[in-house]
Amino acid sequence: RTVYVNGKYVPENEASVSIFDRAFLFADAVYEVTSVLEGKLIDFHGHMTRLERSIRELGINFTVDSDALLAIHRELISKNNITEGLVYLQVSRGAASDRDFMFPASDVEPGLVLFTQAKSLIKSAAADRGLKVASFPDQRWRRCDIKTVQLLYSSLVKNEAAKKGADDAWLVLDGKVTEGSSNNAYIVDENNTIITRELSNDILHGITRKAILQCAAELDLKVEERAFTIAEAQKAKEAFITSASSFVYPVVEIDDVKIGEGTPGPIAKRLREIYIEANLAAAI
Ligand code: PMP
């Protein structure tokens, strides 16, 4: 596989970054994951807009040039023959000459790394089967709206969920669900209203979330942006998650309680279909 590191396309086993890179020492980096269908990028500009915001919030000295970054994405897709999968992009504040909590002088070059991952996205066992999720307290820092590589807690709870026989973790803050370990969380009530937490610093502003809420509007489904509890979710008609790499996955069990019949719900299925259709048509 060819990867991109700081201006160069290199074989993955020849790629290297400094051990003083602040991504490595301080998780001082932000990232985006953009999915690829039929060799084309899904919602690329949405991801670049969020990247720009993450960079601005952290004051990283990197100018997002969407055209240049699009060219790198496309070059990697082509070099690695990706028809379906993901492109990972990471921008770090850069490598200082030493380990220092203070940011380095502004002339330090920010780091830019991209790689691809081939993956079947449309055909998906998780989409067919639905996910079991387990809840955990949300002990992340309170700027979850910034897409940083500081993912240790999310990784820990995902592993803890697996130990309990679940596929993923839902995080709970002050009694209410924030989001999944790496996705946004939704329930559907008895009136077919879709409920998902409102945007704030407590969740990532999902690119897929925005698209799915548009899909819901096209299906004339009502949307309520508000927080919900695990107990409310367990009594919901349906539950599901969204992310760039999963699109929409139904959730069929929460903390060992079946949702509805315990099988993927029709609204989650329909949203997945129309999301794929609309976003494939708009892919670049
Ligand atoms: N929340 C978290 C914590 C995530 O890591 C992700 C995936 N990046 C999402 C939500 C979904 O965001 P998106 O739809 O932009 O992939």
Measured in angstroms, how far is the CA atom of residue 184 from the centroid of ligand 1?
6
- pLDDT score of 133 more than 90: yes
Closest CA to 284 of 1, 119, 120, 69: 69
By annotation, the residues acting in catalysis are 147
Instruction: Report which ligand 1 atom has the smallest distance to the Cα of 154.
Output: 3
246 C-beta closer than 6 A to ligand 1: no
90 C-beta closer than 6 A to ligand 1: no
Arithmetic mean of pLDDT over the chain: 97
pLDDT digits 0-9 by tens, 4-23 = 999 999 999 999 999 999 99
Strand partners, 32: 89
Measured in angstroms, how far is the CA atom of residue 204 from the centroid of ligand 1?
6
Measured in angstroms, how far is the CA atom of residue 89 from the centroid of ligand 1?
14
Average pLDDT estimate for 206-223: 97
Kindly list the distances between the CA atom of residue 130 and the CA atoms of 186, 238, 248, 270, in Å, as whole numbers in the listed order: 14, 11, 10, 14
Ligand 1, atom 2: closest residue by C-alpha = 182
Instruction: Label residue 166 by pLDDT band (50, 70, 90).
Output: very high
Average pLDDT estimate for 229-258: 98
- pLDDT score of 227 more than 90: yes
ipTM score here?
A: 0.99
- pLDDT score of 107 more than 90: no
Contact 238, 260 (CB under 8 A): yes
Measured in angstroms, how far is the CA atom of residue 183 from the centroid of ligand 1?
4
Ligand 1, atom 12: closest residue by C-alpha = 206
- The SS3 of residue 102 is coil
Q: Which amino acid appears at position 33 of this protein?
A: V
Closest CA to 26 of 152, 109, 150, 143: 150
- Tell me phi and psi for residue 103, to 5 degrees: -60, 150
Average pLDDT estimate for 149-154: 98
Measured in angstroms, how far is the CA atom of residue 98 from the centroid of ligand 1?
32
- pLDDT score of 65 more than 90: yes
**Alpha helix (H) residue ranges in the chain:** 22-26, 44-58, 66-79, 125-129, 152-163, 207-218, 230-234, 266-281
Average pLDDT estimate for 138-146: 98
242 C-beta closer than 6 A to ligand 1: yes
- pLDDT score of 105 more than 90: no
Measured in angstroms, how far is the CA atom of residue 217 from the centroid of ligand 1?
21
In this structure, the strands spanning 194-196 and 223-225 are parallel
Ligand 1, atom 8: closest residue by C-alpha = 182
Instruction: Label residue 106 by pLDDT band (50, 70, 90).
Output: confident
- pLDDT score of 125 more than 90: yes
Ligand 1, atom 3: closest residue by C-alpha = 182
Task: Dump the DSSP string for 207-247.
Answer: HHHHHHHHHHHHTT--EEE----HHHHHTSSEEEEEETTTE
Average pLDDT estimate for 14-39: 97
Ligand 1, atom 5: closest residue by C-alpha = 182
pLDDT at position 68, please? 98
- The SS3 of residue 248 is strand
Instruction: Label residue 41 by pLDDT band (50, 70, 90).
Output: very high
Calpha distance 112→30 (Å, rounded): 10
pLDDT at position 284, please? 97
Closest CA to 188 of 259, 222, 238: 238
204 C-beta closer than 6 A to ligand 1: yes
pLDDT above 90: percentage of residues in the chain: 98
pLDDT at position 263, please? 97
244 C-beta closer than 6 A to ligand 1: yes
Calpha distance 265→48 (Å, rounded): 32
For the chain, domains (ranges, CATH) are 2-118 (3.30.470.10), 125-281 (3.20.10.10)
Average pLDDT estimate for 178-187: 98
Ligand 1, atom 4: closest residue by C-alpha = 182
